[in-house]
Amino acid sequence: MIDLFAGAGGLSEGLHTAGFKSLYANEIKIRYSETYAFNHPATIIDSRDIRKVDAKHMRENLGLRRGDLDLIAGGPPCQGFSINAPKRSVDDERNHLFKEYLRFVDEFLPRSVLIENVPGLVSFEGGMTLLAILTALEKHGYQSDVRILYAPHYGVPQSRWRTIIIGMREGQPAHTAFPEPVCQAPIRVNFTSCFEGRNIVALPLTVKLPSFISVKDAIDDLPVLKNGEMGAEIKKYRTKPNNDFQRAMRAGSIGVFNHEAARLSKINLERLAHIPAGGNWTDIPVEILPKGMQRARRSDHTKRYGKVNPDGLASTILTKCDPHWGAYFHYCQDRTFTVREAARIQTFPDTFHFTGSRVEQYEQVGNAVPPLLAAAIGRSLAGVLGKENKGLTRAL
């Protein structure tokens, strides 16, 4: 496979777990590409603007003929499509970077393609951008389909949705390549979930699935930290693994990296003292709320200044764990989530190290595809590609 718009490597990390080998990755942000390179040293990392990369030259450098590659994965930057973006305009040049992705598809002619993006892609410009992507894939010879996947259904302990587009070149219907949910989880849909008259949210087919992974399940074995505590670069685990999730995250790890507590201000510590686990800004006395929130309706901003429920799902991990924007207070320690805790909630293994400043590390984690979600997609896709190989063998 190759990975375009690769970020820090969350998608590649999960696909690698599913058996794919990343030969080449393109990521224009230097710090992101450094993190990718650190964790995937066998992959060629290219931080040039993708619009300046000669796809044919790259294919020839990799020693590939057209049609040799199993998968091109990746996706355009999210911001132009996101339902949370302050400006969602077709004038945003980021909205057209999927054409660069398609240029690589046309040159490499892979057996399958995978594009990931935010749920807002479905409603952007009345669905016309999504339709343009699907139509382009069809014109390039790929049967394509789209689903919105809920990360907790695949073992990710946070409320996070991703739009996934899959295209198959060798006649296999694309809908067969999407993974089935393996966990039950509470759902709240706050975006357009229909496209061309059909619901594209992937839901469990049975109620007999195990329950979701909770925040406590995910991070309770990590070291206790005080507000503002840095400590050693590599820290010892607080306990032995308490469950299969923690065992999986710790496989091969020599200790805990990227685990330092940002320092909360005195006023935020005072606010935090009033919030129970699972509570939020409405538990804080009005007189110590930020001025802008003192006038807010009690039904507004329900996740702001939230202390996560240890037995529930985390809020979507954003590019910074700022309590002003969500439930990022630790459930039993007077601080916000560390980079490692955010990475655990995103399902990065503990052996995955983030480079750069702490601000840059949070950004890399928040912008990533959860590796467990990527692994579920990868296993399903690999199964379909394997069946195609068997069919080709029989035909020969």
Candidate from 6-15, 343-352, 378-387 with smallest mean pLDDT: 378-387
Q: For the chain, give the percent of residues with pLDDT over 90.
A: 77
Residue 373 CA to its chain's centroid (Å): 8
The tokens of 227 are what?
């507000």
Catalytic residue check, 78: yes
Task: Return the pLDDT at 22.
Answer: 97
Q: Look at phi and psi of residue 109 and say left if phi exceeds 0, alpha if psi is from -120 to 50, else beta.
A: left
41-63, pLDDT tens digit by residue? 999 999 999 999 999 999 999 99
Q: Which long-range contacts (CB under 8 A, 24 or more apart) does 229-236 make?
A: 229/260, 229/261, 230/260, 230/261, 231/259, 231/260, 233/257, 235/259
CA atoms within 13 A on the CB side of 82: 13
The tokens of 2 are what?
């190759």
Q: What is the mean pLDDT of residues 171-200?
A: 92
> Taking 50 as the threshold, does the pLDDT of residue 86 lie above it?
no
* Measured distance CA(113)–CA(102) in Å, rounded: 9
Could you identify the residue written with the tokens 């290219």?
46
Task: Return the pLDDT at 392.
Answer: 36
Helix axes 30-39, 358-366, angle to 10 degrees: 80
> Taking 70 as the threshold, does the pLDDT of residue 378 lie above it?
yes
The tokens of 17 are what?
């777990």
Helix axes 98-108, 128-139, angle to 10 degrees: 10
Task: Tell me which of 388 and 82 has the higher pLDDT.
Answer: 388
Helix axes 10-17, 371-395, angle to 10 degrees: 50
Looking at 78, 183, 194, 321, which residue is catalytic? 78
**SS3 state at 165:** strand
* Measured distance CA(258)–CA(118) in Å, rounded: 27
Task: Return the pLDDT at 121.
Answer: 86
Task: Return the pLDDT at 100.
Answer: 86
* Measured distance CA(269)–CA(274) in Å, rounded: 9
* Measured distance CA(247)–CA(203) in Å, rounded: 27
In the chain the domains, ranked by start, together with CATH numbers, are 2-209+370-386 (3.40.50.150)
Task: Return the pLDDT at 83.
Answer: 42
> Taking 60 as the threshold, does the pLDDT of residue 81 lie above it?
no
Strands (E), the chain: 2-4, 24-26, 44-46, 71-74, 112-117, 143-150, 161-168, 194-195, 198-199
Q: Are 364 and 356 in contact (CB under 8 A)?
A: yes
